[in-house]
Structure 1
Amino acid sequence: MGDARSAWEPTMIIDGLQINDWSREVIRTVRSGGVNIVHATVGVWEDLGGAMTRIGAFRNLCRQNSDIVRIVGSVDEIRQAVADDVLGIVLGFQNSTMLGDDPEMAQMFADVGVRVVQLTYNIANHLGSSCWEPRDAGLTRVGHRMVEALNDAGVLIDISHVGDVTGLDAVHASALPIAVTHGNQRSFCDSPRNKPDAVIDAVAGRGGVIGCTLYPLFMGGADVTLNEYCSMLAALADRVGAEHVAIGSDAVVGWQSDALGWMRSGRWDRPEPSEIPVFPPWPAWFSGPQDFANLAHGLDEIGFSEVERDGVMGGNWLRLFETVFRGTAD
């Protein structure tokens, strides 16, 4: 990596994933950190109808707050949002349940603005296994067909919560690069939700991007220092190239404390009230999207060059979006 730079003048900050309870106040909080573009989750456990309702609600939010936010579905629209100084939102699903077993749904959802689909969430589905399953049987037959349909629709495939075998299958099945929008190296934090080197190498080797998460449970807790986190980014850059490293904070701004239970389990698990999880504490140097500048300074301190740092902060996502959203491989 190149020489560090002492000051930072932001170019474009893109967060690879946030799952906020969006409102005008939350939009302002996100923008206060200099964030320009966010991949925002608009579906997790929903079926087709529920997902369309979520998309409609988000479109209404954007209409009511058009002075500060808009949905973006292409790189040209991303650049225009940045030029207009409004937050650009890339709509995404953290599951594929809303697509059912019909690959035609990939294009339908792309037509209403969805640009990212994670193949599985926290339980196995018709496409493959999640990272939490005791056995991973790999990408299913319909999973292979859905990957092809997502490619054709110009939708980015996300494998953050996907099992290792299913994830590797998806990398090799996809004609376009794919992403880990919010996950770290498993060697940094030993959790099934993080990725082993074999998956990371495969994603990067096919031109994809690893969006390193700041969610405390998957980076070792709130006591992890900025230097330790940025050292992980540096080690990842040394392994696969800085052009394949980015940020996917997994921010959870605006939710009530008991919302995590639904996020994790939906309807399939019904814990006792005393067992419902609460959101973990975040590190002091990153309490939310408002602290993105700290990441840039940390990258400077650890030795990223200006070009490398700006790539991690947003440029690498932009390059991937340009490749996938237009639906053609480089």
Structure 2
Amino acid sequence: QAEEAKVQKKEEEREDFATKGTEKEAGKARQDTDAEALQEAEEKAREEAERADEDAQRATEDLEEKALQNEEQQAKKVAEAEVNALEDAEVEEQTRMEMEEAQEKERQQEAEKARQEAEEKAITEMELQAWREVEITETTARKTLEQDEGQGRQETEVKASKEVEEKARREAENVEEQARNEVEAAQEKVRQEVAEIMEEEEQKVQLQAEENARNEAEMKAREEVGKVEDQSRKEMAGTEGILRQAIEEMARTEAEWAKAEEQARKSAEEKAKMEDLSRKEAEEAEAKARHEAEEMVRREAEVKAREEVTKAEEQARRDTEEAEHKARQQAEEMA
């Protein structure tokens, strides 16, 4: 409506000017009005094209910003999934360590029990062996004493009895010391074997627990990453759809802009043709306007010159009157 009102006003001014001026001047005014309307239409088309381009640019920037935000969100989700997986792995590691401590405590109890049983068994066997050897020694000593008694030598019997007793005592001490040494060696051997077995079992259990925890953590991490990747693909697919719509909208805008440019070009060609046709008329109107301006300047110069002459005459008259007045005063004073 504003454009129509503006055009209506121009038409009214043109018609008013046509009623006051010549037909050539009216034609020039009509051409000027058409040129202004064409220029305004071209300006409006350019502004609309620029606005459409700006809207498309803003839409593209918005989509890029949204895509960047989606990528940041997906990266954040992946990081959270990794953190959750690490936390789960830590919890599993703690649980595994507690189970290993319980198993270690149970193994130590079993090893201690086995060691005590082995020591008791070894001590019992050594004591029995020592007693058997003592009995054998005593039996041998008794037989020797019986033989000596049969020969009827009392001194020999007493001496043999003392020697036999001393020998039996020394042999018993030796057997007891040997039994203690063998018991201690057996205990040390049992402790070493138990320690080696416990260490091997502990390493096996620890390696297996680490392998299980690592496999489970990797499986959970892969599941979380797979979920995040699926979500990312879905969101990226939606973003690509929006981008395609924006690109199609930009393509339509570019087509409209090209159409507007073509229309502006045609309008410019029409304007050029109209300018070619009205150049002579414009030159004639310009010559007429120049002549009128020169005539106006000449008339203004004449009026100004007349005003200057009038002023000069008035000043001369006043100067003459003043001189005559002074002359009369001097004559009166002299008289």
TM-score class, shorter-chain normalisation, is under 0.3
TM-score (norm 1): 0.15
Query: Which of the pair has the greater relative contact order for Cα pairs under 8 Å at 6+ separation?
Result: 2
Structure number having the greater helix percentage: 2
